[in-house]
Structure formats: C-alpha cells, structure tokens
Structure 1
C-alpha cells in the first residue's frame, strides 16, 4: 500500500516537470522510480533494473553530504560512472532523514517552478514514509543491539542479547561460529561521518546476502561486526574472500575519504553463544591490520603470532609507559628511525645477520656497526634471548601505538 502511494507521488511529479524521478532510501537504495523521460543515464538504468545504483554511485552521492542537507542541492556528474548531474532533495520528517528525492537534471535547466514542485513532493512524501521507516528502523536498532550484546565479553550482557535474539526468532543455531570485524581507520571529514555508517552497512549487507551461511551483523561505532554461523568450520580462504568483498564495498562508498581494514577471528565451537571469543580476536586482528604494510587489509588472528595478545590492548591504554625503558632510550636517541628499523628487521629475522643485511640491502660490516650502536644505547646484550624478546614485544607495541596515533 505504501509503495503504491509513493509511486503515485513520484509519477505525478515526473509528469509535471517532464524529468526522470526516483526516491531512494538514506543509503541510496532505490525505493521507486518514474518512467524514463529520455534523460536516463547508466546509473539510473542499473538502479531501476537491479534495484541498486552501485556502491561507487552511492558513494559519490553521499560524498556531497546529502545526509545533512535540508534543501535541494546538485549532485555533480561523474563521467567515469556514466552518471549525469542530478537535483537531490532530502525527504525529512521532524528533522529525521527518511530518503532522497532525485531528479535527473544534466544541464541545470530545471525551472524554479520545477524546483518548487520537487520541494512540494518531499513534503507530501515525508508523512507517507515516516511510519514505515520508523517501524523498520526500530526493528533494526533492536536487532543490532541484541547482536552487540551477544558478542560482548560480559556473560551477563551476552545472556541478554541471546534472549532478545531468541525471542525474535533470530538466534543462529549452529555448532560453529566466527566473527569478522571491518574497521574504518583515519578521521573522515565531518561531512562524511554519515557516509561511514552507510559504507559499513552497505558492505555488511552485501556479504550477509550469502544465503549459504547464517549471518547477523551490527555496527559498533567505526566497527562493523559480522557474525557467521555454520554446521562445520568455514574454510579460512572463504572467510578471507568474504572479508575482501566487504572491504571492496566499504572502500567504494567512501571513495578514498577513509581507509578500511578487516580482522577475522577463529571459528569457535559452541555456536553463537561462544562467538564473543572470535569477536575479541577479530577486533584485535583489525587493529593489527593497520600495522602490516603491503597487506590486503585483511588479517586473520592466527597470522598474528606474538602480536595477537598485544592487539587486544585498548587504544587508550597504548601509552609510552608500556614500552621497556631500553627501547624508550633508543627511540629518544634515534630521530631518523634508522636504528629502530634495523633492530626491527634483525629481530623479525630471528637474529640472523646475513638475512637482515640482505633484507636491508646493507653490507654486513655496516649492520654489525648499527647493532653495536643499538646495544650501547639500550644497554642490552642482543645475544640474550630475554633481551631480544623484551625489545621485540616493545617494538610491536610501538607499531600499535603509531597506528592508533598515540606514538
């Protein structure tokens, strides 16, 4: 019933102004569209046929800050997407964004009377959409809160989430469960804050559409949490492939305004009620992903080795106080970072001078000189296993600090 009423308003507006018109939800997913008026472009044709304009087109629209608009504005063209300019008017009710009314306007020739008709249409659409939007939004918020609770490290909180999902018939029933965490890193511009949420939801919804697996997801600040349940352990290769698809979608919507990485936790036996352990691991792996140059942005907990427990330290606890005093002394006396890089390579290569020299493209004599200087500045004998462990853990902590902007 609601769909037919929206369609009537859209069709009437399109006939009145002689332009192709569409209504999208706040995530730029098409809800209804008028007939074409000869002004359609590739993006509109795809949206009408597939009910999806594509993540790149959605990202371009969101990049204009439409989630904060209160008046109609222009979406500039994107030739590489085959996308013409559009007039975009927010549909709001009591300041809440319910959707976007979009009119193809390639040359900006829509008359003032036409723009006025678009404004009138948004006022007609808003009360029609509000009830349905509110009901769906309330259900989504409750479901995501229950998933967040289910993945909490607190047993009491997990019990509340489990009960809420069970009452709603959404508690996944399977022997195995695992969690993937997508994390947006960096600080996107203020006008893109809404786009971050949309980007994460777009990616999570895309991956959750795999009907071969039972999935639930939620957002937790800059994190997207994807819970996967199955009757047998999911191969790591498949989990990585799903994470890669998730990142591709998020990055496409963000269009370079922020980076996104993903962490994968172990698949644990015990199903959804034990998935919190995998969530903890995936969160740490996503945190560590920012310190792994050259990686594809996806890190599995099992790949982290000694770095794994360090990645679980909350970012606000990553302070210089955690670093061993000998390493702090080296950092203070090595402003160029050359000695620190040398020490890192030496320890990463198990204390092998030949392999370290090869990795750094150094003559072995130069390497031995640097190692001697490091020993002098730290006061530690690098031949001692405990000293190597102390410095290696300290270097890994320092890398985490820098990725969190605290070092």
Structure 2
C-alpha cells in the first residue's frame, strides 16, 4: 500500500488489501468513514451501521483486542479498537459472514492497519475540534445583538469563505434545546442534538450547515428553509427525547440571520412552554398571536399584571379544573358542544363549571371584550409559567424563569 496521510484513503487502501468492506466509528460509535461498498448486501449493511451504530455499547475500558458482536443469522460484526499513541479514539468495523473465521493474515493486516488509522483518526478529531471552536466563535459573533453591522458582514463573509455554510439567497436559523424546566445536562443535550442534525444533513443533503451551542442552547444556520418533518425525524432517538426545536423564518442575507434566530428562539420557547398547543418542532409561522406575546418581558411579569378576572381565577380553590375549562371554552370560540367534546365531559358539567367561573371571575362570559381579556390574560399566564402544568410537564422549575437560558 502506498503511504498516505488521509483517513479515507488509508481506509480504502486497507479495504482493497484485505478484500473486506471496512467502516470507522468514533468513540461514540458514530460512523465517520467507510470504504467503497459495491454490492447490494454491502450497502444494506452500511445503511444499518449508519442508522444504528450509535446505539451500540462501546467496548469496556482495557479491552485492546477485537470483539465479535452478533449480526444475526450466525453472522458477526468485528470491532477492532483504534488508538493513537495514548488513547482509544474509535473502532474499525467489518462484517464476518456466518461460518467464516478471520484467517491469520487478515488478523495481522487489521492490526497493522488499525495502528495507522488510529493516528489519522486522532488527527481528524483534533482538526474537527478546532473547526468546531472556530464555527462556535463566528456563529456567536453573528448572533450578537451588540455587534455592529460591518462586523457582522465580515463574520458572514468569513463563514462562507471558510466553507462553514453555503452561499445562498436564503438563510434560516434553528434553535435546539431541552425545556428550561429541565436544566440537567442541558448544554450536553443541546450539543448532541446539534451534532445529530449536522450528521443527518451531511448524510442526506448537499447543503453545508453550521451549528454550535451558544449560551446553552443549540443553534444551526441552514442555507435554505428548513423542513420541520425532517428535523423531527432527527430528534426521534431516545437520547434526544427531551429536546424541542424552533425554526425561524428565512432571511435574504447571512449577516441578518440573527432575525431568524430570534424567531427560532421564540418558536422553541413556545414548544417548551405549551407542548399541548405546539408540536415538538415548531416554526415561527405557526405562532400566531404568540409571536407578540413571547416578545413580552415574561420573566418580569407577576400575577398582579394580569386582568382582574384572570387573577381571581388563579387564586380560586378550583383553578386546576376551571383554568383548563375556561381555556378550552375560549379556544372553541365559546361553543359549548366543541368545548365539552375537547374536555371529555358532559355539557351539563361544562355549564356548571362555566357558572362557577362567572362567579369567581365576576366577568360576563357573553361580553366579547371581557372574553378577549380573559383569553389573552390566560395565554400570557401560560407562557410566563404561572399556570403550573402544561400537558403534564411543569412549564418552569421553582425559582427558574422560563427565559433564564435565553440570550438577549
């Protein structure tokens, strides 16, 4: 084999020398590189690894030799640890058909190739970490509200010139993160979501997308509008079960993408604060009136800022029943049959509750202006985390503003 200093070329050379299809995984069992897989069976196995290898258990510490793992129907996966001069940095994987054992020359070839691939993988990881730090710094500068326009323009040009994001006539921001009420490992989960999205885009699209964790939440910039269904597919893995996403509207210039970022941030908060109303991946265009309400200083509002009728309702002994009842009634435009069906109760039960709500709030529910005040006041209370539970999840932890992780 000719000597090369490139992971992909070295992997292909080793594959041809051993006449075996090979795949390199990183420490987190994600596919980083693979040799040419020509046959349909080889491509099916590669697709399986691309989709599922990150669910595999890493080899325990201290194991230096190959490990065999069941691949079904008597076949096995062979995992060879890859190391640089000090640490394990990944794995070399190949498929062993049923009834076949590795001949001694293949074992020796894999061991020799693994030593070289380990060093090259370590170099790639080091460069990737450097590039990720550079992308994070530039992205943070692009989104900084204090940065002057000319500085943002220079940052945008640098990002395109360095190949971090593709040149385009439209850019769209995405925000990823767990709800503010679930602060444990928030930055780690945001980073995992960003990496999973970047990996998905690299495997399924020609787009060049930049992403990083900025002020505790994941941010990505796409050189095109984002399809919510595809993003939702990325977040289906168990490790990302708590992550929510917001998609901003498109802007015409990269230096203006912080506008899309602000929209994505509010859409993400809507998905976090009201999971009953909003799906896990929410777009800016889906927010309606909440576009305005989410721009209020919700972290500074108290119950005293709400309309009197809403304050009385929140102070009542029946708030846990009457608040969702009134929300459903107002959402249904005051139509009793639809409200009762939505709540799963008989209409006579609904009428009883509505009469109690009229007494508690001292408001005539047939008055359009009064209903507007109640509806808007309850919506603000919901978004500000004053209503306790939304869809079975706390909207904010005790002492934690729902906005505490959001940069201004």
TM-score by length of 2: 0.68
Match of 1:392 among 354, 358, 379: 379
> Structure 2 vs 1, CA of residues 356 and 203 (structure 1 numbering), >3 Å: closer, same or farther?
same
For the pair 1:226 / 2:221, whether they are aligned, the reply is: yes
Q: 1:393 to 1:70 in 2, by over 3 A?
A: farther
Q: Which residue of 1 aligns with 2:123?
A: 131
Structure 2 spans left out of the alignment, 5+ residues: 398-408
Which 4+ stretches in 1 moved above 6 angstroms?
Answer: 67-70, 94-97, 106-111, 113-117, 185-194, 318-323
Q: Distance in 2 between the 1:83 and 1:284 partners?
A: 51
1:312 Cα shift? 5.7
1:153 matched to 2:148? The reply is no
Contact 1:247 1:260 (8 Å CA) reproduced: no
Instruction: Tell me the alpha carbon deviations over residues 132-153 of structure 1, each in whole angstroms, 9 at most, x when there is no partner.
Output: 4433542343234323432333
| Residues 7-406 of structure 1: pairs in structure 2 closer than 5 A | 7-9=12-14, 14=18, 21-24=22-25, 28-29=30-31, 31-33=33-35, 42=41, 44-46=42-44, 53-54=46-47, 57-66=49-58, 71=63, 77=70, 85-93=76-84, 98-105=89-96, 121-156=113-148, 160=151, 162-167=153-158, 169-170=161-162, 176-183=170-177, 196-206=193-203, 209-210=206-207, 216-220=209-213, 223-228=218-223, 239=225, 242-251=227-236, 254-255=237-238, 258=241, 260-269=243-252, 271-290=253-272, 291-293=274-276, 297-311=280-294, 317=299, 324=306, 326=310, 330=314, 333-334=317-318, 337-377=320-360, 382=365, 383=367, 384=370, 385-398=372-385, 402=390, 406=396
**Do the aligned residues in 2 keep the contact of 1:87 with 1:102 (CA within 8 Å)?**
yes
Q: Determine the structure 2 residue equivalent to 1:233.
A: none
CA distance in 2, matches of 1:9, 1:155: 49
Residue range with higher mean Cα deviation, 66-75 or 394-403:
66-75
User: Which stretch of structure 1 is more off in the superposition, 23-32 or 297-306?
Assistant: 23-32
SS at match of 2:93: strand
What is the CA–CA distance in structure 2 between the aligned matches of 1:381 and 1:95, rounded to whole Å?
A: 75
Q: Secondary structure at the match of 2:282?
A: strand
- 1:202-230 per-residue CA deviation (whole Å, 9 max, x = no partner) reads 234356524xxxx532122552413335x
Distance 1:129 1:361, change over 3 A: closer
- Matched residue pairs, number? 371
CA spacing shift, 1:167–1:388, aligned 2, 3 Å: closer
Q: Give the superposition deviation at 1:347.
A: 2.1
Q: Conserved in 1, the CA contact under 8 Å of 2:176 and 2:246?
A: yes
Unpaired runs of at least 5, structure 1: 48-52, 230-238
CA distance in 2: counterparts of 1:401 and 1:90, whole angstroms: 47
Tell me how large the CA RMSD over aligned residues is: 4.8
CA distance in 2, matches of 1:405, 1:345: 18
SS in 2 for 1:333: coil
User: Displacement, 1:311?
Assistant: 4.2
In structure 2, how many angstroms separate the alpha carbons of the residues matched to 1:93 and 1:405? 46
Instruction: Give 3-state SS (helix, strand or coil) of 1:268's partner.
Output: coil
Matched residue SS, 2:223 = strand
Greater share of helix: 1
Given that 1:9 and 1:121 are in contact with CA atoms closer than 8 Å, whether structure 2 keeps it comes out as: yes
Residues 176 and 193 in structure 2, CA contact (< 8 A), matched pair in contact too: no
Q: TM-score, normalised on structure 1?
A: 0.68
